């Protein structure tokens, strides 16, 4: 069996809110498998919600750059928050985002091999190494994504905690509703939806939730069980799907209802096409 460490117990405690003793018991029963331990606690009714992100171990920043046709997201990681706030590190990630917007690389690997636009005698990766030498900490370009803008769509960007959490929301139906898209981006930052709508929830996730729900109502008549499980599945979808979540600025309406009210004022039809939620160190 995998050794149960104090760090594992703390992580399970942070993700479930269950006491350390019960977390250790669950990890022992799950033979050290974190996800199985979470299921054990949930089936026992001890863990109602689970923080999906777990422990954060990396520092860094996320930055966006955009032009009329493209929006780029870049994350760079360092060892300490002290260095993440250093101007030289900030200049490095800004330069990377600016160059990526200009050159539109197909991958991060392609990007780091490009000549650095301010000094073409070195590559982006060599530039990174020079910054490492200057700051004395390891620096990694963790991820990069180019978002190609669509016609008749609006884009809202919300940066939180000084660039440690960045959200981009794409709203279809009008090209001048960036403010509405940003409002929804702020909601995404706060409520952390996992999917846009129920249709996006993978079958294996639904199967897992149904198994857990049924385990919580054992012993009741089958017709009652089905109704309870159906209700629990709907509640799960409402919790993890953006359009069904209660809008963070007005919990009397859902996000979809908030968007519908904005669309009605415009005399247009608006819909959320996609969203990106990046947090520093997120797996």
Any idea where the domains of the chain sit in the sequence?
Answer: 1-55, 57-149, 151-201+241-283
Per-residue pLDDT band for 22 (boundaries 50, 70, 90) equals: confident
Q: Looking at residue 283, what is its pLDDT?
A: 66
What is the average pLDDT value for the chain, to the nearest integer? 92
Classify residue 243 by its DSSP letter. Answer: G
Residue 242 is predicted with a pLDDT of 98
Contacts of 172 (CB under 8 A, 6+ apart): 150, 152, 153, 270, 271, 272, 273
- Note the pLDDT tens digit of each residue in 171-189: 999 999 999 999 999 999 9
Query: Which CATH architecture does the domain made up of 57-149 adopt?
Result: 2-Layer Sandwich (3.30)
pLDDT at 54: 45
pLDDT of 237 above 80:
yes
The pTM score is 0.81
Q: Do domains 1-55 and 57-149 have the same CATH topology?
A: no
Residues 24 and 4: beta-carbon distance below 8 Å: yes
pLDDT band at 125 (very low <50, low <70, confident <90, very high): very high
CB 23 within 8 A of CB 37: yes
Q: What pLDDT is attached to residue 13? A: 84
Fold of 1-55: Helicase, Ruva Protein; domain 3 (1.10.8)
Rounded to an integer, the average pLDDT of 119-139 is 92
Which residue would you say has higher pLDDT here, 12 or 257? 257
Architecture of domain 151-201+241-283: 2-Layer Sandwich (3.30)
User: Under 8 Å CB-to-CB from 213, ≥6 apart: which residues?
Assistant: 228, 229, 232, 233, 236
Q: How confident is the model at residue 50 (pLDDT cuts 50, 70, 90)?
A: low
Mean pLDDT, to the nearest integer, of 88-116?
97
Q: Check pLDDT > 50 for residue 105.
A: yes
Among candidate residues 266, 64, 48, the one with its CA nearest the CA of residue 185: 64
User: Does the pLDDT of residue 56 top 60, yes or no?
Assistant: no
Residue 53 has pLDDT above 50, yes or no: no
Q: Is the pLDDT of residue 211 over 80?
A: yes
Query: pLDDT tens, 141-162?
Result: 999 999 999 999 999 999 999 9
């Amino acid at each position: 069996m995998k050794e149960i460490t104090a760090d594992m117990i703390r992580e399970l405690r942070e993700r479930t809110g269950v006491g350390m003793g019960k977390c250790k018991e669950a990890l022992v029963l799950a033979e050290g498998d974190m996800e199985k331990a979470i299921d054990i606690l949930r089936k026992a009714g001890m863990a109602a919600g689970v923080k999906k992100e777990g422990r954060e171990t990396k520092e860094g920043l996320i930055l966006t750059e955009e032009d009329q046709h493209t929006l780029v997201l870049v994350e760079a990681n360092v060892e300490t928050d002290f260095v993440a706030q250093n101007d030289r590190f900030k200049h490095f990630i800004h330069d990377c985002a600016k160059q990526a917007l200009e050159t539109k690389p197909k991958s991060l690997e392609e990007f780091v091999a490009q000549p650095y636009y301010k000094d073409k005698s070195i590559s982006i990766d060599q530039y990174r190494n020079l910054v490492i030498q200057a700051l004395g900490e390891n620096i990694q370009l963790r991820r990069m994504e180019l978002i190609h803008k669509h016609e008749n769509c609006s884009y809202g960007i919300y940066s939180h905690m000084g660039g440690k959490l960045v959200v981009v929301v794409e709203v279809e139906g009008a090209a001048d509703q960036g403010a509405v898209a940003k409002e929804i981006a702020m909601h995404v930052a706060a409520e952390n939806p996992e999917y846009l709508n129920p249709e996006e929830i993978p079958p294996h996730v639904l199967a897992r939730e149904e198994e857990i729900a049924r385990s919580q109502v054992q012993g009741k008549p089958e017709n009652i069980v089905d109704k309870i499980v159906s209700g629990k599945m709907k509640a799960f979808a409402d919790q993890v799907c953006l359009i069904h979540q209660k809008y963070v600025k007005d919990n009397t309406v859902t996000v979809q209802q908030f968007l519908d009210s904005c669309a009605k004022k415009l005399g247009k039809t608006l819909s959320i096409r996609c969203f990106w939620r990046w947090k520093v160190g997120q797996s």
